[in-house]
Structure 1
Amino acid sequence: MREEFRRGNNARRRYVALGDSFTEGVGDTSTVLPNGVRGWADRVAEKLAKAEPGWEYANLAVRSKRLRQIIDEQLEPALAMEPTLVTLYAGGNDILDFGTDMEALLNDYELLVARLAGTGATVVLFTGFDVKVSAVLEPFRKRNTLYNQRVRGIAAKYGAVLVDYWCFEAYHDPRMWSSDRLHMSKAGHKYLAAQVLDHLGVPHKVSPKEWDPPARVGIREWERRQRRWVNDWVLPLFGRKLRGVTLGDTLSARWPEPVKVPRKGGLKKLMEEATR
């Protein structure tokens, strides 16, 4: 592990994940884990416990949460847990909202990072990926660029570990994305888990998916897929925005209190033991 990361975790090992659907695990479905998903953060917690027994893990992330909601609902519970490792991705949903004040958003983001860094925990931050899914979402691209620039600067200012998601070429393969094209697929979550573990210097055997080159798609099939994507995902997304509702309104955090991650069997074993 990174020497500074190891030094900070001698007495207690507690990982707390904050954020939205990115960290909740949307796109990586599971029939046995809370909220029906797994995700990269669960995978990171399991590999931490395998490398060094005794790790505890809480995941407060809930899909659709905006930055202000993450601050109001997740920050104080996270601080109360006295984490030694924190991961944070927040602001992606705000970028897709109409009328977002990016300067105000990023000032709030920095205040959140400052509070987390002030605990002495190792803080991991992420840039956002430039998802080229459709011209429909092109107007939001400048916001994403600004967000990434500021996140890089904030990470440097507060000594955070930066996982520069923007730069990962692997995500140009459409198979790294779920059917909504905005959330990672299972393969995408596994790849990101490996990147986080590598940045922390944690040994693991999470390997990238090896695929043959994607098959070429004819223009008619491409148009059919575009129409289906717009009908299934884009229109409902903007419909929810107009109605002021989100997919996370009825959901709770997946792991709201720290759980000790089993070294063997991981979080699935924990769920199996809880239902006996």
Structure 2
Amino acid sequence: MRPASPGARAWTRYVAVGDSFTEGMSDPDPTTPGAYVGWADRLATLLAPHAEEFSYANLAVRGRKLADVAGPQLDAALELDPDLVSIVGGGNDLLRPRADVDTLAARLETAVARARATGADVLMATPTDPAGAPIIGRTRGRVGVYIAHIWTIAEQHGAFVLNQWACDFLKDWRMWAQDRIHMTPEGHRRIALAAYAALGHDPADADWHVPLPAQAPPGALETIRDNAQWARDYGAPWVQRRLQGRSSGDTVSAKRPGLLPVEHDDRTTRRSTP
């Protein structure tokens, strides 16, 4: 690993709050069936070598909206006295047709201000560019407004920002799982490196941001078949949960509710095969 860039901090207590993205969905944990690794876990393993004593907690739960992320999750996070908190939420809210982006931004700003008032540094993340994605693609306008708020909040409160909108490699569907909503292990690996760089560190993998080699686009029949399968396996169940007022995380609890030491795991930097 390369040394930290000038000005990069050595944090000792990192706590992540958020939804399925921060929980790490579609990045399976080979040691625990049904569990996930994800970008935040991978970021923790990158940060750990910079401190003599480092610990990490992850309170994120799939399906959670910003009210939970910036409310109960953040409450629990601040009780752990972190010096770095990643607060990533709002994506599930933005999927709702009547989402009030300004209200979401105000809630996010309050959360960031609370964390900063304790002396902790804060890492936020912009949503990815949803152009071309089924269902989510329709939210592109409100996502853009939300991103403008995120950068404003960061400037006003001295927070770090992981700019996923600028991650061109995410425009490649090979970085996305079959549900087209969550990232593959390679996607999570690269986002962890992007977050590491956003925090002022210098990733050892100099090419993490380089797009994958081009490949031939799928044929028309293959596209129709894949879209039909996606609608059946993922689209319809998602719509049904929304209509029934259910969430994929209703029976899920935080995978790492307390601060624990982090062991080195070379999956963090080892390139995965999309």
Query: Does residue 213 in structure 1 map to residue 198 in structure 2?
Result: no
Aligned with 2:130: secondary structure?
A: coil
Partner of 1:114: 113
Distance in 2 between residues matched to 1:153 and 1:257, nearest whole Å: 31
For structure 2, the 5+ residue unaligned runs are 269-274
Taking only the aligned residue pairs, the percentage that are identical comes to: 35
134 and 202 in structure 1: CA distance in 2 versus 1, 3 angstrom threshold: closer
TM-score, reference length from structure 2: 0.88
1:14 Cα deviation from its structure 2 partner: 0.2
String of CA shifts for 1:6-56, please: whole Å, max 9, x gaps: 2x74xxx10000100111101111232485110011111111123334110
Structure 1 stretch displaced more, 31-40 or 200-209: 200-209
Distance in 1 between residues matched to 2:105 and 2:211, nearest whole Å: 37
Partner of 1:86: 85
Indicate if the aligned counterparts of 2:16 and 2:87 stay in contact, CA closer than 8 A: yes
1:201 Cα deviation from its structure 2 partner: 3.1
Query: Does residue 261 in structure 1 map to residue 267 in structure 2?
Result: no
Distance in 2 between residues matched to 1:61 and 1:161, nearest whole Å: 19
Partner of 2:67: 68
Structure 1 stretch displaced more, 14-23 or 105-114: 105-114
Partner of 1:243: 244
1:261 Cα deviation from its structure 2 partner: 1.2
For these two proteins, the number of residue pairs brought into alignment is: 263
String of CA shifts for 1:45-84, please: whole Å, max 9, x gaps: 1111233341100000001000111133211111111111
Indicate if the aligned counterparts of 2:69 and 2:87 stay in contact, CA closer than 8 A: no
Partner of 1:202: 201
1:162 Cα deviation from its structure 2 partner: 1.1
117 and 266 in structure 1: CA distance in 2 versus 1, 3 angstrom threshold: farther
> Counterparts of 1:1-276 in structure 2 under 5 Å?
1=4, 4-6=7-9, 9=11, 13-33=12-32, 35-134=34-133, 136-206=135-205, 208=208, 211-262=212-263, 264-265=264-265
Aligned with 1:61: secondary structure?
A: coil
Indicate if the aligned counterparts of 2:130 and 2:139 stay in contact, CA closer than 8 A: no
Distance in 2 between residues matched to 1:267 and 1:14, nearest whole Å: 21
Aligned with 2:56: secondary structure?
A: strand
For structure 1, the 5+ residue unaligned runs are 269-276
TM-score, reference length from structure 1: 0.88
Distance in 2 between residues matched to 1:22 and 1:218, nearest whole Å: 30
Residue type of the alignment partner of 1:74: Q
33 and 210 in structure 1: CA distance in 2 versus 1, 3 angstrom threshold: farther
1:86 Cα deviation from its structure 2 partner: 1.0
Structure 1 stretch displaced more, 147-156 or 49-58: 49-58
Runs of 4 or more above 6 Å deviation: none
Aligned with 1:253: secondary structure?
A: coil
Distance in 2 between residues matched to 1:62 and 1:50, nearest whole Å: 27
String of CA shifts for 1:169-222, please: whole Å, max 9, x gaps: 111111111111111111110000111111223354356387432232111111
